[in-house]
Amino acid sequence: MAILVVGGAGYIGSHAARVLKRRGYEVIIYDNLSTGHMALAEGFELVVADISDSASLAKVLGRVDAVMHFAAHAYVGESVVNPRKYFQNNVLGGLTLLHAVLDSGVRKFIFSSTCAVYGIPARVPITEDTPRSPVNPYGITKLALEHALEAYNHAYGLRFVSFRYFNAAGADEDGRAGENHIPETHLIPSAFEAIRGERPSLEIYGDDYPTPDGTCIRDYIHVNDLAEAHVLGLEYLSQGNSAKLNLGTGRGYSVREIISTIESVTGQRVPTRISPRREGDPAELVADPRRAETLLRWRAKRSLEEIVATAWNWAQQNSAALKRT
Ligand code: UDP
């Protein structure tokens, strides 16, 4: 079976592509390389084109059985100050991709959604039945695609899985793929930059939240646990199903707990500074992952220590080089 991995030169998409390949799938990566890295697509057939380019999409879609869509802008803060960029790419571009998929006859689609579709949930852990009420443009753009998928499923028989990721983190155990955002805003790689002196300190965004140590709690899930869920998602689609599924571990960690795990795994001190809260950050986001566990027979297997250790290994060996590609 051939899979088109759209955004496969990015962080999560490249891990999905690698897991698919290891499981024997034929993989074609489609990426405009705006934020992706050529090096992460090494060893794969790569089509360099944009998701708004219907002609390039039509050409490649004729050769695949299913599509995984990872190509989106994903900075919450940026989406607040530059929402046009997010609606343009994530909604207009995403719909162009979806329509090309419909026109091609492909009927299996896996979508990278986000826990940001829930906004500020009344209760944690968050089940899939929690009302969707995003509080920033990023979450709104992801929800728009979820709505389109539901309508197209109903009207046209397009089968889909919308995976609502919690906090993706960590790197491939083989050390050849990992996280490399420019600029880096995510907690774990930002802490590594502080350790290496590439930033003066790690800013802790708020220590006055109503949590046990005052810092925000998130559900950090290893990127290869996410990637493995995508492969099982394909099998689920092949059985004729569609679903919206949380992907998380069900266990939350505070920013301070993450920092102390980083210090114990790396043996290095993370210089920190308390900063104001970041706009749009809820105090606690933790998944209830039971629906994905039941329907896909999947479980997030990797621990927080493995997340930090694989990310550290990757950052030590590769990130400086990747920043230039
Ligand atoms: N965070 C922080 N300092 C940073 C980056 C993140 O304190 O430099 C916090 C952030 O407020 C949130 C958690 O770490 O509570 C995870 O943030 P990240 O940006 O990694 O992922 P997000 O939750 O925004 O998807």
How high is the pLDDT of residue 105? 98
What is the spatial distance between Cα 207 and Cα 199, in angstroms, rounded to a whole number? 20
CA of 21 to the centre of ligand 1 (A): 31
pTM of the model: 0.97
Active site residue 138: yes
Site residues for ligand 1, CB cut-off 6 Å: 76, 167, 185-187, 190, 202-205, 216, 218, 255, 278, 281
Closest residue by Cα to atom 6, ligand 1, is: 187
What is the spatial distance between Cα 177 and Cα 222, in angstroms, rounded to a whole number? 13
Q: How confident is the model at residue 183 (pLDDT cuts 50, 70, 90)?
A: confident
Average pLDDT for residues 128-140, to the nearest whole number?
96
CA of 32 to the centre of ligand 1 (A): 27
Domain annotation for the chain: domains and CATH numbers: 2-170+220-248 (3.40.50.720)
- Residue environment code for 141-174, b if the CB has 16+ CB neighbours within 10 A, otherwise e: bbbbbbebbeebeeeeebbbbbbbbbbbbbbbee
Closest residue by Cα to atom 4, ligand 1, is: 187
CA of 185 to the centre of ligand 1 (A): 7
HEC profile of 275-301: ECCCCCCCCEECECCHHHHHHHCCCCC
How high is the pLDDT of residue 323? 59
Whether 195 has a pLDDT exceeding 90, the answer reads: yes
How high is the pLDDT of residue 180? 86
Average pLDDT for residues 53-66, to the nearest whole number?
98
Whether 322 has a pLDDT exceeding 60, the answer reads: no
How high is the pLDDT of residue 292? 98
Residues 11, 138, 152, 236: which is the catalytic one? 138
Closest residue by Cα to atom 11, ligand 1, is: 205
- Return the percentage of the chain with pLDDT > 70, whole number: 98
Pocket perturbation via mutation, ligand 1, pick of 188, 221, 278 by most ligand atoms within 8 A of CB: 278
CA of 71 to the centre of ligand 1 (A): 21
The better pLDDT of the pair 71, 76 is held by 71
CA of 304 to the centre of ligand 1 (A): 15
Q: How confident is the model at residue 62 (pLDDT cuts 50, 70, 90)?
A: very high
Cα of 230 vs its chain's centroid, Å: 11
- 263-321 per-position pLDDT tens digit: 999 999 999 999 999 988 899 999 999 999 999 999 999 999 999 999 999 999 875 66
Average pLDDT for residues 177-206, to the nearest whole number?
94
In 3D, which of 193, 216, 196, 192 has the Cα closest to residue 205? 216
Which atom of ligand 1 has the smallest separation from the CA of 255? 14
Average pLDDT for residues 184-204, to the nearest whole number?
96
Mean pLDDT of the chain: 96
Pocket perturbation via mutation, ligand 1, pick of 75, 112, 217, 255 by most ligand atoms within 8 A of CB: 255
What is the spatial distance between Cα 198 and Cα 84, in angstroms, rounded to a whole number? 31
- Tokens for 38? 């050529």
Average pLDDT for residues 136-151, to the nearest whole number?
97
- 237-259 per-position pLDDT tens digit: 999 999 999 999 999 999 999 99
